[in-house]
Chain A
């Protein structure tokens, strides 16, 4: 076993103070760390997840370079350069990188890595990063860490297993560490204070394996689900898509986002990008209101780190009540309108 992990394995039995000392010792040794953060954006601005990934990179230590890719992204590259802690920005301004096609994005990241030898490559956990990062891993013969929840030191991370029912502390001796990080595990980096210099990314060979045809995104006036301070979520108990209007009204009043359980998505009440859980999005808002949701293991995996959880369900035995700070056993069709009115 490599030396760093044997140091760490002792730390579990050491008092907190020693752990901190050990941790800062390994931080100090991280002066050779250099991290590439692969940014995600919506065509106009960096995603909140990218800002969280930059925070994760700063916890690793060392210089942070951000990669911004896609056509007409000069303003986003500039925005990235201003983020607290960012030293440099690589800008790959080409249509080849639009729509984050895995084959093209991995070709770009591999080209950059072969020239720059970063010690870490970090991306926010998302369908984009889970799509391209293993492909980078295949090219570099490196195993990525998926959904990192916290950085213990530059070689050691925590990640969930079994729908978040077990947390593993993991390490690897690969020369470069590839990580996707859970945005809910890290604060967003400040968008000012950075002094990054923007330069053009090296040209990467086009893969030309997959052609983008079209996309359909559901536009919504409400805040982004993963970034919202309040999330109101509905399950099978809502009975129909029309009844989600009740939740929309409540969410609007709380300036929150609307989410759903898998049951509500599978029943066609709402589109799948609203799904919260092991196979959907992971949220950790200040307030999570679960309405007509039983609280299956797979759903809890996506919301149990919320600060305050409220459950409204007419079944007093529903497992959701075991994680709820405030439970109300009542018919949602009566309770939700009343709650909307009283807030």
Chain B
């Protein structure tokens, strides 16, 4: 069974972003693999370790530096990488519908039995690409997955819902998006990082895919959210209760 995993390069989760009227300042900011994509890669590699998968192919769309993100996936254990090269802004201008259409092209040529993505990227927070891709391919989908079992060409998926969890059964091929609780991603060890340098990454310009990537949603402007007024520190519980009763009038 072949597994395709999609990874995105985003601003590191711990960075406090600086907002400009046209977007978020991405100059000299630490970038990393989107945390949900790391979980997706880990799940793909675990399938290989369980001998369910035979090959794990990682794909990323983005600038030259997206290759670093692919190298990280290769160092974690993916077998080879596909880099779709573009210079458009990944958080605003390369949007989920375009990404899903590009990934659908990759699925057409690679024919994986299982496609895994993160449930959302922490920059644009759209949470759309996986379900888009499943819809375009007319594959079953399992979003927000926290547990996966694949046996006999069938997948049993536990997914997180608003009220708890539910379990679904799907045939393969399937598109799955990973929630935080699906697994704990491993750290790439130094020998594996060295080995990853020898693994192949195939790079192709985005234009070769013949997909219209014009942004469907236009950003008029970006602003910081309204700042909260600075609060006070209270010395004890009694003062806190008094303030909540009389000043804030919330209890």
Assess whether A134 is in contact with B132, with CB atoms less than 8 Å apart.
Answer: yes
Known A102-B131, A143-B97, A166-B24: A329·B233 in contact at CB below 8 Å: yes
Report yes or no: B122 in contact with A162, Cβ–Cβ below 8 A. Answer: yes
**A112 beta carbon closer than 8 Å to chain B:** no
The answer to whether A212 and B166 have CB atoms under 8 Å apart is: yes
Q: CA A217 – CA B122 in complex, angstroms?
A: 27
**Which residues from A are CB-within-8-Å of B152?**
none
Residues on B with beta carbons closer than 8 Å to the beta carbon of A1: 218
A145 CB contacts on chain B under 8 angstroms: 217
- Is residue A246 contacting chain B, with contact meaning CB distance below 8 A? no
Task: Determine how close the nearest CB of chain A comes to the CB of B113; give it in whole angstroms.
Answer: 15
A211 and B168: CB pair below 8 A?
yes
What is the bound-complex CA distance between A137 and B131, given in angstroms? 9
Identify which of residues 258-284 in chain A touch chain B, using a CB-to-CB cut-off of 8 Å: 262, 265-266, 271-273, 278-279, 281
Q: Considering the chains assembled together, what is the distance between the CA atoms of A28 and B219 in angstroms? A: 24
CA distance A42 to B163 in the complex (A): 9
Contact partner of B169 (CB less than 8 A), chosen from A8, A138, A164, A211, is A211
Interface mask (B223-235 → A, CB under 8 Å = 1, otherwise 0): 1110011111110
**Which residues, 164 to 192 on A, are CB-close (under 8 Å) to B?**
164-174
Contact check, B141 vs A135: say whether CB atoms are below 8 A apart: yes
Q: Which of A50-58, A61-69, A301-309 contacts the other chain?
A: A301-309
CA A139 – CA B135 in complex, angstroms? 7
Q: Contacting B144 at CB < 8 Å: which of A42, A131, A133, A271? A: A131
Q: Are B11 and A215 in contact (CB under 8 A)?
A: no
- Decide: B218 and A5 in contact? CB cutoff 8 A: yes
Residues of A within 8 A of B136 (CB): 138
Residue contact B132 to A273, C-beta cutoff 8 Å: no
A215 x B125 contact (CB < 8 A): no
Are A162 and B216 closer than 8 Å at their CB atoms? Answer: no
Residue A74 at the chain B interface, CB threshold 8 Å: no
Is A327 engaged at the interface, CB distance under 8 Å to the other chain?
Answer: yes
State A240–B237 Cα separation when bound (angstroms): 23
B207 at the interface (CB under 8 A from A): no
Q: Which chain A positions have C-beta within 8 A of B88?
A: none
Q: How far is B135's CA from A138's CA once the two chains are assembled, in angstroms?
A: 5
Known A145-B217, A209-B140: A164·B131 in contact at CB below 8 Å: no
- Among residues of A, the one whose C-beta sits closest to the C-beta of B223 is A167
The stretch from B13-21, B49-57, B58-66, B75-83 touching chain A is B13-21
10 closest A-B pairs (Cβ-Cβ)? A138-B135, A134-B131, A135-B135, A217-B164, A209-B140, A143-B216, A215-B166, A325-B231, A217-B163, A134-B128
